Amino acid sequence: MGLYTEEQQQEFVASMHETAQDTLNQLMEVFRLANFGDDEESLTALDRFADGYRAEGTVNDHNTRGYTVGLGTLLGDLMLKKYGGRWVVDKAYSIETRNADGATAHLFPFAPVSARLNGNIAVSIHHYFYFEAARTLGFAAPASGPLDKEAVLNKIRTNAATVANTYRSKGATFELTAASIATLDEYLERTVSPSTTVATKENLMNLIGSFLGECIAAKYGARWMVSDDGDVRMVLKAGGTTHFLNPFGKVEKRIENGPEDNLTAYFAGFIPHVLKASR
């Protein structure tokens, strides 16, 4: 027997749709949408709404949970129209449907919504709908609905500027240098603990990862690369060798592993060593 009875699940789904309607009303008002559906404008609006919440809204656990349910339900309902199936609360609020082979499969619309609301700019809600869901189910992705790569890059630059401006507002000298990265290492050492929430860790990863990447670009001439499926990396060429770097992954390791994954050593020691070996 599942975690909830069928009647309880229906009650949860009804509650989800109430929250989704409130969120949709806000979405339509903010972006002046004539209609909401599975078109590019509507799906892009979901990402923009999530980003606007992070930038301008009152960010707290209660509001984040509410918008996760609201936006996630809107996304899930669009998937139901496209792929069929039903909401299943027992499966982490998933969409239970059939894949291309006819087997039972699950889509998780709350996952990309939660990631975007928590500041993960590498995750796109509309990209999940157009590409990830189709790939999960084994269907061919549509030709329309490409990832807005420039929007991802702009968000990275905005994140990096947010980090720098936070320290500059306190009178600190904060530039794209190893000294600034050392300051962030110290901040993470003071801030991250076993009680730090996943949402906070993800926000730190995106903010500090963006700043670290911009430092790498300024110092070593690396450039950001966003793939069609939303993967964000940096490309650094030395001699005849091309290196791929992942600043977000490095910050994630620093958060999880502590000083042994020191960001300053990575920036000022490891990367120069790799470049020297490539010459």
Asked if the model's pLDDT at residue 179 lies above 90, the reply is yes
One domain for residues 123 and 153: no
C-alpha–C-alpha distance, residues 220 and 74, integer Å: 43
| Domain co-membership, 85 together with 35 | yes
82 shares its domain with 153:
no
Q: Among 137, 160, 188, which residue terminates a domain?
A: 137
Q: How many folded domains does the chain comprise? A: 2
Average pLDDT over residues 149-158: 87
Other Cβ atoms less than 10 A from the Cβ of 123: the count is 24
* 144 assigned to some structural domain: no
Q: Are residues 120 and 210 in the same domain?
A: no
> Would you say residue 173 lies in a domain?
yes
Residue that wins the pLDDT comparison between 12 and 149: 12
pLDDT band at 146 (very low <50, low <70, confident <90, very high): low
> Residue 246, Cβ neighbours under 10 Å: how many?
15
Backbone dihedral region of 268: left (phi > 0), alpha (psi from -120 to 50 degrees) or beta?
alpha
Query: Token pair for residue 136?
Result: 């999960």
Range of the domain at 108: 6-137
Q: Domain ends where: 74, 107, 137? A: 137
| CATH number reported for the structural domain that contains residue 198 in this entry | 1.20.120.1090
For residues 38 and 105, state if they share a domain.
yes
pLDDT in tens, 52-110: 888 788 889 999 999 999 999 999 999 999 999 999 987 678 999 999 888 999 999 99
